[in-house]
């Protein structure tokens, strides 16, 4: 997918499902459940607990890319190095999300023609990420910082698209958009590992629909 189309899709959909802690055996049904609920933008977070788990994340990205093709807007999360950027892009990631503001990660992402979404907490970090080439800046933890904080930093930084991540629920997701965020990222409140372990993928679909309903 072309870079501009990916960015347009992220801004239009307004929500990214953060898939973390899901096994290779569970990833297919998990993705199907979320996409069926109306959320086609999925971030597959790298598991850094071991070299093998990192490689497994790449395999999951590749598997989903091959299965869903253009029916999914697929990204990689918790990307910490330029080397990981290259591996994720080769696996099929269209956007790269990081928990921090790493200039090398941003640069490698843009050199690959992909969308860069680094993490930031302060106005200084947000401005530095934007100047380094970020397309969207991830504000984390948004729920802890609160809506007043978001509104305050958005004042002088309205030109920087901000995605709220952390503590986003079906009930409050719209509030983050109204506070000035262009999108939200949702992890455990949507991708419930206990439900997945129980094989209750329908609950993921229902939760996804509630997010979509409240954001549109």
What are the residue numbers of the active site?
Answer: 43, 138
**Strand, helix or coil for residue 155:** coil
Contact present, 64 and 84 (Cβ < 8 Å): no
CA 175 → CA 15, 67, 151, 167, 190, distances in Å? 13, 34, 11, 12, 17
Burial of 51 (0-12, 13-18, 19+ CB in 10 A): exposed
CA 12 → CA 50, 148, 192, 202, 210, distances in Å? 35, 24, 25, 25, 17
Q: Which of 214, 189, 216 is nearest to 204 (CA)?
A: 189
Task: Determine phi and psi for 86, rounding to 5 degrees.
Answer: -60, -45
């Amino acid at each position: 997918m072309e870079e501009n189309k990916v960015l347009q899709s992220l801004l239009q959909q307004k929500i990214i499902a953060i898939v973390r802690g899901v096994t290779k055996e569970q990833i297919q049904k998990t993705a199907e459940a979320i996409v069926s609920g109306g959320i086609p933008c999925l971030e597959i977070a790298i598991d850094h607990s071991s070299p093998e788990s990192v490689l497994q994340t790449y395999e999951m990205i590749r598997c989903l890319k091959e299965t869903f093709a253009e029916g999914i807007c697929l990204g990689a999360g918790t990307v910490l190095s330029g080397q990981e950027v290259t591996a994720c892009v080769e696996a099929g990631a269209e956007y790269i999300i990081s928990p921090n503001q790493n200039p090398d990660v941003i640069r490698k992402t843009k050199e690959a023609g992909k969308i860069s979404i680094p993490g930031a907490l302060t106005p200084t970090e947000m401005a530095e990420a934007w100047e380094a080439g970020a397309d969207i800046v991830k504000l984390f933890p948004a729920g802890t910082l609160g809506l007043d904080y978001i509104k305050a930093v958005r004042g002088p930084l309205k030109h920087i698209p901000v995605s709220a991540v952390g503590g986003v629920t079906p009930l409050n997701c719209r509030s983050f958009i109204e506070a000035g965020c262009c999108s939200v990222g949702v992890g455990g409140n949507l991708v419930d590992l206990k439900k997945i372990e129980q094989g209750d993928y329908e609950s993921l679909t229902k939760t996804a629909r509630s997010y979509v309903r409240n954001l549109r």
